[in-house]
Amino acid sequence: MDTDTLRLFVAAAERLNITAAGRDLGLAPAMSSNRLAKLEKELGVELLHRTTRKVSLSQDGAAFLPYAREIISQAQAGRAALGEDNLSPSGVLRFAAPSSFAQLHIIPLLPEFQKRYPDITLDLRLSDTRFDIIDGSFDLALRNAPLKDSSLLGRKLSDDSRVLCASPAYLDQFGTPATPEEMKGHQFLAWSDMGPREILHKNGQTAVLDPKKMVCRTVLDDGTSQRLATLAGMGISINSLWSVAHDLAAGRLVQTLPEWRLNDQSVLWLIYPKSNVLTPKVRCFMDFLVERLPEGQLLQE
């Protein structure tokens, strides 16, 4: 199976434009169409639906697409193993990350990354709703959770300490809780998961933070929205330290119960499917993020 034709198929599937995909690879429109037709004949399926007006991915094409990407990645990794790793990393890098983290810490770095690696195209899916990295055919993803999935490998970026905080205006109006017990009755900005959370004191003592014992009039499942609502004085919230460190340092937010933190052992992981060879484009992006986002910087107030 010709990897150049597979690259053409992947490009056409991503752009839904055979002519444009061929042009990117230096192929004339007729040659692009002929190569894809030969691939479909070889596989015995129609990968792309074509009309005079548009191109769409068939069901068989969608099923074959992650395998085509994997074959291309394996071929690229094989060339690197044979001493061709001095070639500039290239290709489309599909990366999924929480939008809150990406907006604050990744997007500002991308111009530098693209200057270093001009042959890599970034296809980013940024959402606080978690994507399935394997079903979504992602090369790499950022997750802020314990790494429990045995089908994935990961590289630690940082611990993900989560703290309670509120605005000075809120605390002036409603008072500052001194113990977990005093959180009862306070306005709380909740996530959709309203289950109790364990919090941990620096001396090892634990307590339970139960949203049902607080006043939860606002439920937000987006980290940036949580931070903005907290700044607006709408209540006490749980936020990742990487999200609110600058606000705490500037006095725009105040850490409540400062000797306590959420006890969920959450870690920021850069993860990729175990079945994937770590290709040059993925490795260089991981190295870049680890270099430019050291843990001390992320958690510094």
Last residue of a domain, one of 84, 111, 140: 84
Whether 265 has a pLDDT exceeding 80, the answer reads no
Q: What is the mean pLDDT of residues 246-269?
A: 91
Q: Beta strand 55-57 with 48-50: parallel, antiparallel or unpaired? A: antiparallel
Q: CATH number of the domain at 291, please.
A: 3.40.190.10
Same domain assignment for residues 155 and 28 = no
Last residue of a domain, one of 84, 110, 140: 84
- Which band of pLDDT confidence, cut at 50, 70 and 90, is reported for residue 247? very high
Same domain assignment for residues 155 and 270 = yes
Whether 300 has a pLDDT exceeding 90, the answer reads no
171 and 256 Cβ atoms separated by less than 8 Å: yes
Bin 227: left if φ > 0, else alpha if -120 < ψ < 50, else beta: alpha
Same domain assignment for residues 278 and 211 = no
Same domain assignment for residues 155 and 273 = yes
Last residue of a domain, one of 84, 118, 135: 84
Same domain assignment for residues 154 and 96 = yes
Which residue would you say has higher pLDDT here, 91 or 297? 91
Domains in the chain, number: 3
DSSP secondary structure letter of residue 234: -
Distance CA 105, CA 198 (A): 28
Same domain assignment for residues 125 and 205 = no
Distance CA 113, CA 118 (A): 8
Residues of the chain with pLDDT > 70, as a percent, come to 88
Burial label for 301, CB within 10 Å (0-12, 13-18, 19+), is exposed
> What is the residue-averaged pLDDT of the chain?
86
pLDDT confidence of residue 260 = 92
- Which band of pLDDT confidence, cut at 50, 70 and 90, is reported for residue 248? very high
Q: Which structural domain, as residue segments, surrounds residue 38?
A: 3-84
- Which band of pLDDT confidence, cut at 50, 70 and 90, is reported for residue 266? confident
Same domain assignment for residues 255 and 166 = yes
Whether 254 has a pLDDT exceeding 90, the answer reads yes
Q: Residue by residue, what is the 3-state secondary structure of 177-204?
A: CCCHHHHCCCEEEECCCCCCEEEEECCC
pLDDT confidence of residue 143 = 86
The structure tokens 């010709």 sit at 2
The alpha carbon of residue 56 and the mean position of all alpha carbons in its chain are separated, in whole angstroms, by: 27
Same domain assignment for residues 173 and 248 = yes
Q: Beta strand 206-209 with 197-201: parallel, antiparallel or unpaired? A: antiparallel
Whether 86 has a pLDDT exceeding 80, the answer reads no
Q: CATH number of the domain at 216, please.
A: 3.40.190.290
Same domain assignment for residues 206 and 139 = no
Same domain assignment for residues 258 and 175 = yes
Which residue would you say has higher pLDDT here, 254 or 132? 254
pLDDT confidence of residue 296 = 60
Q: CATH number of the domain at 74, please.
A: 1.10.10.10
Same domain assignment for residues 40 and 64 = yes
Same domain assignment for residues 144 and 274 = yes
User: pTM for this one?
Assistant: 0.67
